Amino acid sequence: MNREYYGKLIFELSRQGRRGAIVPDNGCPSAPKLPDHLVRAEAPELPEVDEPTVVRHYTNMSNNNFGVDTGFYPLGSCTMKYNPKINEEMAQHHAFSGLHPAQPAGTVQGALELYVRLSEELCRVCGMAEFTLNPFAGAHGELTGLMVIRAYHESRGDTKRNKVIVPDSAHGTNPASAAVAGMKVVEVKSLPDGTVDIEALRPLLDDTVAAMMMTNPNTAGIFEHSVKEIAAMVHDCGGLMYYDGANLNPMLGVARPGDMGFDVMHVNLHKTFSTPHGGGGPGAGPVGVRKGLEQFLPSPRVMRDADGNYTIECPEEALGSISATLGNYAVLMRAYSYLLSLGGEGLRLAGPLASLNANYVKESLKHLYKLPLHGVCKHEFVFDGLADKSTGVTTLNVAKRLLDYGFHAPTIYFPLLFHESLMIEPTETESKETLDRFIEVMEMIAHEAAETPDLVKGAPVNTPISRPDDTAAALNPVVTFADLKAACND
């Protein structure tokens, strides 16, 4: 990182008359004069900079990004695994990247075939009957899935079902999606071992239950061992089971949501199937359904006619469209490329390796960090802060100090089950050396917390910015030069 350029805006580097290129006079007459009302009163305020300044400015800015390609990224629940470059090459393939979403089906048969093939692969991996690939994110998939569930109940004239049961360990998107879908959210408590309390669930089950949403393994990384019993209970009262597939990664090659009793689910392709997804995008949240629910999936859908041609259809019974096109196509291509390049054998290894790595890190650090849930975890686990709380060093401080050592922080203060949650997901793509270095650094931070707590409380000290005011940044984002000038004048 070059401090000469860091933190300056391109406008501040501007000098009147500076140019990046000299355009020779080509002798052409100037364009006809614009009508007066279209002519600006003042010249636009554009930066005037030379080419090296532009290149250095943007290159230095790009170096301030942390990514899976620059370091270990154990952000729990986000599955920040390494994204093989072959996927990028495939997503950029000119045969696909040049297509227009509105092209007639007859001219995009290959793209439609890939859509169908990926849907079929996802059905195989998840134990579902059909997938739509149209939703753009996990949360978008949840909304779509809940709309499918409502359409199912309504098709049976069962209109009073408006309740969605969500465990207290659930990701915030679950209750949010249920609310956006117009349903009532009811929370069910977890047992001390982190799994759903069946006895607390029982009284919630009645003829108003539309669905129960579950993540398995749950957000604490614990496999819900009673899932089949829970599914039977929910089905008995006429509700459907929704699987939040954000934690599908450790299940790859081990178990399928369809076999656990789930009826509707989404997959976060950007998590489990390897698309770079820092900073909120891009993503894809395909929704799968078990047999008997296919007709409720959204439009448009890709079908195959008797001659083997792919067509784009909008069936009558479908719930309408939830996206303008057939999904976030480049993300779909990366997922398909990832599946093919791993193959069945590679895919079967991914889940168990992710769980092995998580357990290795957990067992290596549990003498220094408080482990609230014991036993074998799946792909991720949660510490409840440092074991020694007497120093006043919090989870936030530990997370900030990790930045000084070049690691991305784990997820903090989620799940809400514990006060000092520090949620670590190493993923299967990390080497033992990387995991060992992370363990070593986490040990060092625990020792620093005991010996020099103020150092940890003041971290990070090695990053370009130390502790920005996150809340102010979210409430009053300064995203344009005009915003900045206004903020400076305030």
Which residue, 60 or 215, is less far from ligand PLP as judged by CB? 215
How many CB atoms are located within 10 Å of the residue 236 CB?
A: 9
Does residue 138 belong to the site contacting ligand PLP (CB under 6 A)? yes
Structure tokens at 432: 């033992």
Binding residue (CB under 6 A) for ligand PLP from 215, 216, 337, 359: 215
Structure tokens at 174: 């679950």
Distances (CA, A) of 223 to 117, 260, 366: 30, 11, 20
Q: Which one, of 234, 232, 216, 236, lies nearest residue 224 by Cα?
A: 216
- From the CB of 271, what's the least distance to ligand PLP, in Å? 6
Which residue, 53 or 216, is less far from ligand PLP as judged by CB? 216
Does residue 274 belong to the site contacting ligand PLP (CB under 6 A)? no
Q: Which one, of 261, 193, 251, lies nearest residue 222 by Cα?
A: 193
Does residue 391 belong to the site contacting ligand PLP (CB under 6 A)? no
Binding residue (CB under 6 A) for ligand PLP from 60, 219, 359, 429: 219
- In sequence order, the 6+-apart residues with CB closer than 8 A to the CB of 175 are 164, 166, 185, 187
Confirm if 288 and 265 have CB atoms less than 8 A apart. Answer: yes
- From the CB of 215, what's the least distance to ligand PLP, in Å? 5
Q: CB burial class (10 A; 0-12, 13-18, 19+) of residue 471?
A: exposed
- From the CB of 219, what's the least distance to ligand PLP, in Å? 5
- From the CB of 285, what's the least distance to ligand PLP, in Å? 6
Binding residue (CB under 6 A) for ligand PLP from 60, 134, 216, 268: 268
Query: Which of these ranges, 239-247, 254-262, 389-397, 482-490, lies near ligand PLP under the rule CB under 6 A?
Result: 239-247
Which residue, 176 or 347, is less far from ligand PLP as judged by CB? 176
- From the CB of 173, what's the least distance to ligand PLP, in Å? 4
Strands 240-245 and 264-267: parallel
Instruction: Determine the Cα–Cα distance for residues 262 and 249; give it in Å rounded to an integer.
Output: 17
- From the CB of 420, what's the least distance to ligand PLP, in Å? 20
Strands 163-167 and 184-188: parallel
Count of residues of this chain found to bind ligand PLP when the rule CB under 6 A is applied: 14
Which residue, 137 or 358, is less far from ligand PLP as judged by CB? 137
Helix-strand-coil split of the chain, %, nearest 5: 40, 10, 50
**Residues 169 to 188 in contact with ligand PLP, rule: CB under 6 A:** 171, 173
Instruction: Determine the Cα–Cα distance for residues 147 and 323; give it in Å rounded to an integer.
Output: 14
Does residue 246 belong to the site contacting ligand PLP (CB under 6 A)? yes
Which residue, 323 or 391, is less far from ligand PLP as judged by CB? 323
Does residue 216 belong to the site contacting ligand PLP (CB under 6 A)? no
Query: Which of these ranges, 34-42, 133-141, 197-205, 449-457, lies near ligand PLP under the rule CB under 6 A?
Result: 133-141
Query: Tokens 């000084």 map to which residue?
Result: 404
Q: In the complex, which residues of this chain contact ligand PLP (CB under 6 A)?
A: 77, 137-139, 171, 173, 215, 219, 244, 246-247, 268, 283, 285
